[in-house]
Amino acid sequence: MTVSARLAELGIQLPAVAAPVASYVPAVVHAGLVYTSGQLPFSGGALPTTGKVGAEVTAEDANLYARTCALNALAAAADAAGGVDRIAGVLKVGGFVASTPDFTGQPGVINGASEVLGEIFGEAGRHARAAVGVPVLPLDSPVEVEVVFILA
């Protein structure tokens, strides 16, 4: 099954590629891989919320935002690769969670990204990962996700 067919089966429509907020490109293709820049949970061109997980943002909401970040990363990768069906799988996910000092649930938050990639790619969506707590992210976003995809 193609990635585009799987997305349709899941009822997932990829968003438009988010415009960079600084001097970088959304994704770069190199040596059979697509490296995405860190993706924020933009939806309709805006962040759904701002703040820290463990204070203004719940872990459950942040998990959904991580899912959005992963879909934004897939959109950026597909754009750079020449189409979503050129993406064969996921190599690595890096997740960043702006959180309070006492919040330790970063892995659960970034599961939102990992799980949607698994739904889309199946076994080829299994990946290495980091889930890191940070004091602040660009635009006061609660989460940011970067992904390394494998080309078909």
Domain containing 63 — which CATH number? Answer: 3.30.1330.40
Domain count, the chain: 1
84 in Cβ contact with 7 (< 8 Å): yes
Q: Is residue 78 part of a domain?
A: yes
Q: Is residue 42 part of a domain?
A: yes
pLDDT at 97 (0 to 100): 98
- Computed over every residue of the chain, the mean pLDDT equals 97
Using a 10 angstrom Cβ sphere, with 0-12 exposed, 13-18 middle and 19 or more buried, the burial of residue 74 is buried
Q: Is residue 21 part of a domain?
A: no
pLDDT in tens, 64-121: 999 999 999 999 999 999 999 999 999 999 999 999 999 999 999 999 999 999 999 9
pLDDT at 142 (0 to 100): 98
How far is residue 74's CA from residue 56's CA, in Å, rounded to a whole number? 27
Tokens at 61, concatenated: 């909401």
Q: Is residue 46 part of a domain?
A: yes
pLDDT in tens, 8-51: 999 999 999 988 888 999 999 999 999 999 999 999 999 999 99
Q: Is residue 22 part of a domain?
A: no
b/e 100-131 (16+ beta carbons within 10 angstroms → b): eeebebbebbbbbbbebbbebbeebbebebeb
pLDDT at 19 (0 to 100): 86
DSSP secondary-structure letter at 27?
E
Q: Is residue 133 part of a domain?
A: yes
Residue 55 or 19, more confident:
55
pLDDT at 59 (0 to 100): 98
Q: Is residue 114 part of a domain?
A: yes
pLDDT at 21 (0 to 100): 83
Contact residues for 118 (Cβ-Cβ < 8 A; gap 6+): 125, 126
Q: Is residue 20 part of a domain?
A: no
Residue 76's domain comprises: 3-15+27-151
How far is residue 111's CA from residue 129's CA, in Å, rounded to a whole number? 10
